[in-house]
Amino acid sequence: MSRDYYATLEINRDASDADIKKSYRRLALKYHPHNNGQAGPYDTFRELAEAYDVLSDPRKKATYDTFGEEGLKGGIPPEAAAHGAWSTTYVYHGNPDKTFRQFFGGDNPFADFYTAYGTDANVGFGGLRGRGVKTQDPPIERDLHLALEDLFYGSTKKIKISRRVINEDGHTSSIRDKILTIIVRPGWNEGMQITFPREGDQGPNNIPADIIFIVRHKPHPRFTRQNNNLIYTAHISLEQALTGFSVEVETLDGRLLNIPINDIVHPQYTKVVSGEGMPSPSNPSTRGDLIIQFNTHYPDKLSSEKKRLLKQALTL
């Protein structure tokens, strides 16, 4: 009597490829001999493997659908083979464990099954014993480059990622895009980490990796950041360094500060303007300082008369 591969897999004859995979996955796990002693007879497991081996192959399936098991295993008319059917007699290799491994992949195909259903068993499979526990992929770290203005005011950043996800059949996968939203808080420091748990690639035997964005400062045309302080470098002449001047600094929020410098500017001199730095991450209403450093430009050369006058002025 000819066997009904469709009945073996508990599917209809119009079942899709995804339906075939889904049914084999469910029944193979149920009837596998290593399934904690709960499996059915080994012959059932073997019949499932043979049915899947035939129905998952388009050419074998076409031959079986047209000529049945007898035509598949005994041969078909030559004119039928010309239309893409299985052209040689089919003999199942007889190793259902091989089919099972090829379907699930890896040395421990029960790993995802045990994690999902809480089964705790010793699995003698491929030399691997112990509880099938999914492990999480290592975190994926990406730099998030932000302007000082983003960190001064706060901002919202939307980042598109592409990741592999498991399809509804539970076996195949595809690449899909996803938008991750980051709410940037005022005062965040460089090195701050924002974690999106389990947004990495999905797989049947793994826990997706966490995606971690690490804050990095974009170069700024006027300032560098030091904790909550902003550093500004003013370029001045030797005359200004000795006689005094005013520094104009445009702030991150667009104001223009006019800061008088009445001291003599020596190489280690700095001017501190309180409360004009970055917001504090813990309390954005408080701010760090603006620290002005100075780069003094000396003349390339002096005439004899200028040297005399300068010496006279400095000795008074």
pLDDT tens for residues 213-252?
Answer: 999 999 999 999 999 999 999 999 999 999 999 999 999 9
More confident residue, 125 or 250: 250
Domains of the chain, each with CATH number or no CATH: 5-117 (1.10.287.110), 139-217 (2.60.260.20), 223-300 (2.60.260.20)
Nearest Cα to Cα of residue 278 among 221, 217, 235: 217
Residue 40 predicted with pLDDT over 80:
no
Query: How sure is the predictor about 133, in pLDDT bands with cuts at 50, 70 and 90?
Result: low
Residue 118 predicted with pLDDT over 90:
no
The torsion angles phi and psi of 107, rounded to 5 degrees, stand at -85, -20
- Judge whether 146 and 220 are in contact, CB under 8 Å: no
Is 0.75 topped by the overall pTM? no
Q: What is the pLDDT of residues 172-195, one digit of tens each?
A: 788 899 999 999 999 999 999 999
CA distance to 17, 138, 275, per residue, from 246 (Å): 78, 54, 19
d(C-alpha 115, C-alpha 133), whole Å: 6
For residue 236, the tally of other CB atoms under 10 A from its CB is: 16
- Judge whether 173 and 155 are in contact, CB under 8 Å: no
Residues 114, 116, 118, 121: what is their CA dihedral angle, to the nearest 10 degrees? 0
Provide the token pair at 5: 């591969």
